Chains A and B, each alone.
Chain A
Amino acid sequence: MKATKIRTAGSPVNGSAFILYGLIAWFVITFLIYPNINVYYEIFFSDGNFSFEAVNKLLSSDRAMRSLYNSFILAISLMVTVNIVGVALVLIVDYFDIKGAKILRLGYFTTLIYSGVVLVSGYKFVYGESGYMTKLFANLFPSFDTTWFHGYWAVLFVMTFACTSNHVLFLSNAIRKIDFQTVEAAKNMGGSTFYILWRVVLPVLKPTMFALTILLFLTGLAATSAPLILGGTEFQTITPMILTFSKSLASRDLAALLALILGLSTLVLLTIMIRFEKNGNFISVSKVKSVLVKQKINSKIGNIAVHLIAYFLFLIYIIPVLLIVIFSFTDAQSISTATLNISRFTFDNYIQVFSSMAAFKPYLVSILYAAGASIAVVALALTASRILHKYKNKWTNFLEYSLLIPWMLPSTLIAIGLIVTYSTPKMLIGNTVLVGTVWMLFLAYVIIHIPFTLRMVKASFFSLDNNLEDAAKNLGAKPFYTFRKVLLPIILPSTLAVLALNFNGILADYDLTVFLYHPLYQPLGIVIKNSTDAQAVADTKALTLVYSVILMIISAVILYFVYGRKSKS
């Protein structure tokens, strides 16, 4: 606290900094605050006065209430289960001495390259009605109910394994930064492997886990594909309903209201977590850190058990991906019955995709959008983090919470906000119309990725030694030079990881894209959806898988460039 004040006093604001702050303020007001307030205003006050009709409608709907309840149950469950699995993965890959950890890591990384409907269908190939596991169980126990895989437990199962991406990226970063001497000290005092884990290692991971837990809560609330596909009638969640309502003019008030409920509960959790973070943050006190050495598990039984768990998890992760790849070479019949027959193998799907998409354009458009937007959002988050790091006052609090707004609204409503607001000339953007330009989608991609990026970039910013900046300043470096030469290189690895995640997220997005894309520059997500639409009569099932495989490859390449090379060095 004292230190921040000192810093405030010591850094005179110069002209270019003022321009930068002005730009940030403009961006926040123009794209985060104004459109969203505008959309809420239009929805609730369009006829001149506020009505509680939407509230009554929701309260009187059993289904809405149940879905809302389910969303919260799912979000809270995920906060527990994903942390358990995520920590297990990270320990297996980075902490324990497990044979084949490198291959295991690849398996655990698969969630980074696919998501949504595709991921869930991958799991259905394994556990669904005609999935492999189900068939196996049915053979073992003739009375086995083949429709077992639905409802709360099925959704929780799939999402638990699907949502560990951030853990394998960010928690493993954190565990590698543990001061190994503390582990050795604990060992020296006679701590058993698991006692040390519990008392020494996990507490150090706590700050990162807090940050990830907020994300899990959000993911749980926003769950769409898994409940839709696996929830059955008994476990539907609220987000699909919000999506449906937000697309219908008559029901937008309901969508906005539901989104507001989710947003406010996110805000409550966020506030609690930020408070926790403030109280519970501790910095490693040791001056000479030593590198983590992978721990052998001394107990033989324990060792075997951990190896078994590791490979069991590996199978859970890798099989759906493998099946998606394999089934992309088959036809709709094979896919819907989950049967593999060598005679049904074909390259036709791939030929069709590459011949009808001979135009490389959608790939190019998507890659450019993804690259441009993910770089811009990282740049914005870096700038904002630097401001938040440098100053602490009511304006920076305001800035931080404003930048988190997109977490409180579903992306479809953000899109609608932009459309409603910028379909007519507005002073804020120099009296131009944004709707119908290529910038619309770009801005939206940037906006919705701000909160996550900010959280992650800010965390790495705040782990920096303040003295580095002072030292550079003392050596005569200007702030930007310091940032470029000293600070950025240090936080670059985690920043690049966020960049890659954003890139992959944007690449195949549909829900947001469909509202805002420029008709002449159709991104991949739109092209895929169109050619696999129910209206289309081609072998849409197989095509979806082919596109998924292509997207997986692009994502994997991106991750390799950002992550694979770094972890080697």
Chain B
Amino acid sequence: MRKILNLILLTITLGLIVTACGGNNTANTAKPESSAADEPAANEPVKNEKLIIYTNANSDGRGEWLIEQAKAAGFEIELVGAGGADATARLIAEKSNPVADVVFGLNNMLYESLKKENVLVKYVPAWAGEVEEGLNDPEGYYHGLVKQAILLGYNPTSYTAETAPKDWTDLYNNPEFHGKYEAPTLLGQVTPRLVVAGILTRYRDEKGEYGISQAGWDEIKKLYDNGVGAIEGEDFYANLASGKTPLGTVVSGTLDAKEEQYGVKAGTVSPEVGVPMIVEQAAIINGTKKMETAERFIEWIGSSEVQGKFAAQFNSMPANTKAVAQANDAVRELYSSLKAQALEWGFIADHIGDWVEKIELQIMK
């Protein structure tokens, strides 16, 4: 007993010392590390330091695959996975002491926020021209990798292509669908935000509240009034499959896996106005000490070769037109029937926070 006690005491004392001197210790330990990484590199002709890369697209084996491929191409990378909104928040928080060198994944809206916060550095890779038009940042800060469509899905036993809604607006304008669809209530996440943006941006009005006309707000109110709230921790696809809530948002890239899990293949809707097409992008972090390596990595990851391989492996839809050929047939077919909704990401990024706040406070019940 006494030994245990002494041990605990020792640790407590150490803990105290550590807490007390935390600030100083950090200074002492952090510095040699970074300088050690810097100095020898300065003498070498080709810089090839380990890159720290933030992404939200590393789950389901994508991360492991990429690390392996990168290694084969001579890159040493460390992937830091986080949800899109969280990764963005981190990057902004760390902007005066950046940890990351490169960010990929996320979506245009989040990249717009990053750009606005001065987190990104301008770099136009050689493959920028191969990317489908309108997907890259025209200012050259970020460039497209993978396309994801945010779709309105339906349960195929409850509805047919004919009886299903034709657009998001049908959900609340047609009483038949009232109470049958999931309203995008979990506004902390990115996808529900994009659904909202997809509807609101149709009612742009510089004089309206937060750039949206009153008609737009009325529409959004109807969307929330007539839908079923999403529930934290529940997988919407389960409700779609069981028919409990047969209509709602699905993300294109996950459809196959969900179908496999729940045994139901959701039907998808192609509205005339198009669907919010989010594009995973790649960019270099402002303040990286490994600029040269980061540039080479961006060149590599966005190349049609890598994106093609990736698409074949993970059923994704590449943004790089030269890589599309290697994508899965079903995926290509899906995307050929889809039209990208024209969205101005900068405008959305500027206003989405206010929109969410207004919806949370005044529109949702």
- Using a CB–CB cutoff of 8 Å, the interface residues on chain A facing chain B are 23, 26-27, 30, 57-58, 60-64, 117, 120-121, 129, 225, 228-229, 232-233, 240-241, 243-245, 247-251, 254, 331-333, 336-337, 356, 372, 375-376, 378-380, 382-383, 419, 423-424, 428-437, 439, 442-443, 446, 484, 488-489, 492, 514-515, 518-520, 522, 526-527, 529-531, 533-541
Enumerate 22 A-B pairs (CB-CB under 8 Å) in ascending A order: A61-B360, A63-B361, A63-B364, A229-B233, A233-B365, A241-B360, A244-B360, A249-B92, A251-B354, A333-B241, A379-B13, A429-B22, A434-B23, A519-B54, A519-B90, A520-B52, A520-B80, A527-B81, A529-B83, A530-B83, A533-B56, A538-B59
Complex CA gap A284/B26 in Å reads: 48
- Proximity bits, B14-28, A CB within 8 Å = 1, else 0: 011011101111110
Establish whether residues A488 and B254, one from each chain, have CB atoms under 8 Å apart when the complex forms. no
Complex CA gap A247/B93 in Å reads: 12
B173 at the interface (CB under 8 A from A): no
B201 at the interface (CB under 8 A from A): no
- Proximity bits, B239-251, A CB within 8 Å = 1, else 0: 1011010000001
CB-contact partner of A336 in B64, B94, B229, B242, under 8 A: B242
The residue among A378, A379, A430, A520 with the most chain B CB atoms within 10 A of its own CB is: A379
In the assembled complex, the CB of B199 is this many whole angstroms from the nearest CB of chain A, namely: 19
Establish whether residues A58 and B361, one from each chain, have CB atoms under 8 Å apart when the complex forms. yes
Known: A424-B96, A534-B235, A537-B258. 12 other contacts (CB 8 A): A61-B361, A228-B231, A229-B232, A241-B360, A250-B354, A251-B353, A423-B94, A514-B83, A529-B83, A534-B191, A535-B251, A536-B59
Which residues of the partner chain B approach A518 to less than 8 Å between Cβ atoms? 99
CB-contact partner of A379 in B15, B81, B83, B98, under 8 A: B15
Which residues of the partner chain B approach A23 to less than 8 Å between Cβ atoms? 20
Which residues of the partner chain B approach A380 to less than 8 Å between Cβ atoms? 16, 19
Which residues of the partner chain A approach B362 to less than 8 Å between Cβ atoms? 60-63
Complex CA gap A382/B89 in Å reads: 35
Complex CA gap A30/B20 in Å reads: 11
Query: Which residue of the partner chain B has the closest CB to A253?
Result: B357
Establish whether residues A225 and B15, one from each chain, have CB atoms under 8 Å apart when the complex forms. no
> With contacts defined as CB atoms under 8 Å apart, how many contacts are there between chain A and chain B in the complex?
218
Complex CA gap A530/B274 in Å reads: 30
Residues of B253-308 whose CB lies within 8 A of A? 253-254, 256-258, 261-263
Complex CA gap A60/B357 in Å reads: 13
B121 at the interface (CB under 8 A from A): no
Given the interface pairs A117-B233, A379-B19, A530-B82, the reply to whether A432 lies near B257 with Cβ below 8 Å is no
Given the interface pairs A120-B233, A423-B97, A436-B99, the reply to whether A254 lies near B357 with Cβ below 8 Å is yes
Establish whether residues A233 and B229, one from each chain, have CB atoms under 8 Å apart when the complex forms. yes
Query: Which residue of the partner chain B has the closest CB to A420?
Result: B93
Complex CA gap A382/B9 in Å reads: 12
In the assembled complex, the CB of A435 is this many whole angstroms from the nearest CB of chain B, namely: 5
Which residues of the partner chain A approach B365 to less than 8 Å between Cβ atoms? 63, 233
In the assembled complex, the CB of B119 is this many whole angstroms from the nearest CB of chain A, namely: 12
Which residues of the partner chain B approach A30 to less than 8 Å between Cβ atoms? 23
Given the interface pairs A245-B360, A333-B262, A376-B16, the reply to whether A439 lies near B26 with Cβ below 8 Å is yes
Complex CA gap A372/B26 in Å reads: 16
Complex CA gap A58/B251 in Å reads: 33
In the assembled complex, the CB of A156 is this many whole angstroms from the nearest CB of chain B, namely: 18
B330 at the interface (CB under 8 A from A): no
Which residues of the partner chain B approach A534 to less than 8 Å between Cβ atoms? 189, 191, 235, 251, 254
Which residues of the partner chain B approach A57 to less than 8 Å between Cβ atoms? 357, 361
B238 at the interface (CB under 8 A from A): yes
Establish whether residues B81 and A489, one from each chain, have CB atoms under 8 Å apart when the complex forms. no
CB-contact partner of B235 in A228, A336, A378, A433, under 8 A: A336
Which residues of the partner chain A approach B93 to less than 8 Å between Cβ atoms? 419, 423, 435, 515
In the assembled complex, the CB of A292 is this many whole angstroms from the nearest CB of chain B, namely: 24
- Using a CB–CB cutoff of 8 Å, the interface residues on chain B facing chain A are 5, 8-9, 11-13, 15-16, 18-20, 22-27, 30, 52, 54, 56-61, 64, 78, 80-86, 89-90, 92-100, 187-189, 191, 229, 231-235, 238-239, 241-242, 244, 251, 253-254, 256-258, 261-263, 353-354, 356-357, 360-362, 364-365
Establish whether residues B81 and A530, one from each chain, have CB atoms under 8 Å apart when the complex forms. yes
Establish whether residues A337 and B81, one from each chain, have CB atoms under 8 Å apart when the complex forms. no
Which residues of the partner chain B approach A331 to less than 8 Å between Cβ atoms? 261
Given the interface pairs A251-B356, A435-B93, the reply to whether A243 lies near B188 with Cβ below 8 Å is yes
Complex CA gap A430/B31 in Å reads: 13
Establish whether residues A537 and B60, one from each chain, have CB atoms under 8 Å apart when the complex forms. yes
Given the interface pairs A332-B262, A423-B97, A530-B59, the reply to whether A376 lies near B80 with Cβ below 8 Å is no
Query: Which residue of the partner chain A has the closest CB to B189?
Result: A534
In the assembled complex, the CB of A258 is this many whole angstroms from the nearest CB of chain B, namely: 11
Complex CA gap A540/B59 in Å reads: 11
Query: Which residue of the partner chain B has the closest CB to A54?
Result: B357
Which residues of the partner chain A approach B254 to less than 8 Å between Cβ atoms? 534-535, 537
A-B complex: 3 closest residue pairs judged by Cβ atoms: A250-B353, A537-B257, A429-B23
Establish whether residues A442 and B99, one from each chain, have CB atoms under 8 Å apart when the complex forms. no
Establish whether residues A63 and B11, one from each chain, have CB atoms under 8 Å apart when the complex forms. no
Establish whether residues B97 and A376, one from each chain, have CB atoms under 8 Å apart when the complex forms. no
Establish whether residues B9 and A488, one from each chain, have CB atoms under 8 Å apart when the complex forms. yes
CB-contact partner of A430 in B12, B24, B81, B83, under 8 A: B24
Which residues of the partner chain A approach B229 to less than 8 Å between Cβ atoms? 232-233
Which residues of the partner chain B approach A228 to less than 8 Å between Cβ atoms? 231-233
Which residues of the partner chain B approach A527 to less than 8 Å between Cβ atoms? 81
Which residues of the partner chain A approach B241 to less than 8 Å between Cβ atoms? 333
In the assembled complex, the CB of A370 is this many whole angstroms from the nearest CB of chain B, namely: 12
Complex CA gap A429/B25 in Å reads: 10
Which residues of the partner chain B approach A522 to less than 8 Å between Cβ atoms? 80-81
Establish whether residues B20 and A27, one from each chain, have CB atoms under 8 Å apart when the complex forms. yes
Establish whether residues A519 and B356, one from each chain, have CB atoms under 8 Å apart when the complex forms. no
Establish whether residues A492 and B19, one from each chain, have CB atoms under 8 Å apart when the complex forms. no
CB-contact partner of B27 in A428, A432, A435, A489, under 8 A: A432
Establish whether residues A248 and B356, one from each chain, have CB atoms under 8 Å apart when the complex forms. yes
Establish whether residues B80 and A225, one from each chain, have CB atoms under 8 Å apart when the complex forms. no
Establish whether residues A333 and B86, one from each chain, have CB atoms under 8 Å apart when the complex forms. no
Establish whether residues A225 and B232, one from each chain, have CB atoms under 8 Å apart when the complex forms. yes
Complex CA gap A14/B233 in Å reads: 55
In the assembled complex, the CB of A493 is this many whole angstroms from the nearest CB of chain B, namely: 12
Establish whether residues B232 and A437, one from each chain, have CB atoms under 8 Å apart when the complex forms. no
Given the interface pairs A435-B94, A435-B96, A515-B90, the reply to whether A538 lies near B60 with Cβ below 8 Å is yes
CB-contact partner of A229 in B57, B90, B231, under 8 A: B231
Which residues of the partner chain B approach A538 to less than 8 Å between Cβ atoms? 59-60, 257
Establish whether residues A537 and B256, one from each chain, have CB atoms under 8 Å apart when the complex forms. yes
Query: Which residue of the partner chain A has the closest CB to B257?
Result: A537
Which residues of the partner chain A approach B263 to less than 8 Å between Cβ atoms? 333
CB-contact partner of A526 in B60, B82, B238, B356, under 8 A: B82
Complex CA gap A101/B191 in Å reads: 50
Establish whether residues B80 and A536, one from each chain, have CB atoms under 8 Å apart when the complex forms. no
Which residues of the partner chain A approach B78 to less than 8 Å between Cβ atoms? 519-520
Establish whether residues A530 and B27, one from each chain, have CB atoms under 8 Å apart when the complex forms. no
In the assembled complex, the CB of B84 is this many whole angstroms from the nearest CB of chain A, namely: 8
Which residues of the partner chain A approach B16 to less than 8 Å between Cβ atoms? 376, 379-380, 383
The residue among B26, B94, B98, B256 with the most chain A CB atoms within 10 A of its own CB is: B26
In the assembled complex, the CB of B359 is this many whole angstroms from the nearest CB of chain A, namely: 10
Establish whether residues B100 and A519, one from each chain, have CB atoms under 8 Å apart when the complex forms. yes
Complex CA gap A229/B58 in Å reads: 28
Which residues of the partner chain A approach B23 to less than 8 Å between Cβ atoms? 30, 428-430, 432, 434, 439
